């Protein structure tokens, strides 16, 4: 017999030859510097605090209610993804991931472009901001899903 029987062990001859170099930290450093630059854009802005929890904090039991709300949302989404994985619906999963990343890119572009209007007053028109948001979102999607 040329094939090993189930009781015989096959030896793994592949050896990990990865060697760390400082150049591998460059993308991490670049993303941290980009995040710092984006935070400096927002620093002088006086933005109102938007509540992210559905139950206001002055309501009795708000901590537990908000905790159950977010845990419930995560449990439901994890269950949906588990069912989709079990049914091997990878196209639907990929579509949901693309939708989530595209929405995040669009919202972040909108937030930062409206924050830039304090420094660049010609951006204050929505007829300029909306096409720029769409352009940045398309560039993001191309960079991640086509070239990445």
d(CA 136, CA 20): 34
pTM of the model: 0.68
pLDDT tens by residue, the chain, 148 residues: 566 665 655 556 667 788 888 888 998 999 999 999 988 888 877 777 778 889 998 999 999 999 999 999 999 999 999 999 999 888 998 999 999 999 999 999 998 898 888 888 888 889 999 999 999 999 999 999 888 6
Helices (H) and strands (E) in the chain, counts: 4, 0
Output the pLDDT for position 14: 67
Query: CB under 8 Å to 133, separation ≥6 — which residues?
Result: 106, 109, 110, 113
d(CA 77, CA 71): 10
* Short-list 58, 100, 80, CA closest to 72: 80
d(CA 138, CA 147): 12
């Amino acid at each position: 017999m040329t094939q090993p029987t189930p009781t015989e062990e096959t030896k793994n001859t592949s050896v990990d030859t990865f060697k760390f170099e400082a150049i591998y930290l460059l993308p991490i450093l670049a993303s941290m510097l980009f995040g710092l630059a984006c935070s400096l854009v927002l620093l002088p802005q006086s933005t109102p605090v938007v509540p992210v929890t559905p139950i206001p904090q002055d309501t009795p039991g708000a901590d537990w209610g908000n905790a159950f709300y977010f845990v419930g949302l995560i449990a439901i989404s994890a269950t949906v993804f588990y069912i989709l994985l079990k049914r091997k619906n990878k196209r639907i999963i990929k579509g949901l991931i693309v939708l989530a990343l595209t929405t995040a890119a669009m919202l972040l572009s909108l937030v930062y472009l409206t924050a830039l209007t304090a420094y660049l007053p010609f951006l204050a028109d929505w007829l300029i901001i909306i096409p720029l948001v769409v352009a940045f979102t398309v560039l993001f999607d191309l960079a991640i899903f086509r070239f990445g």
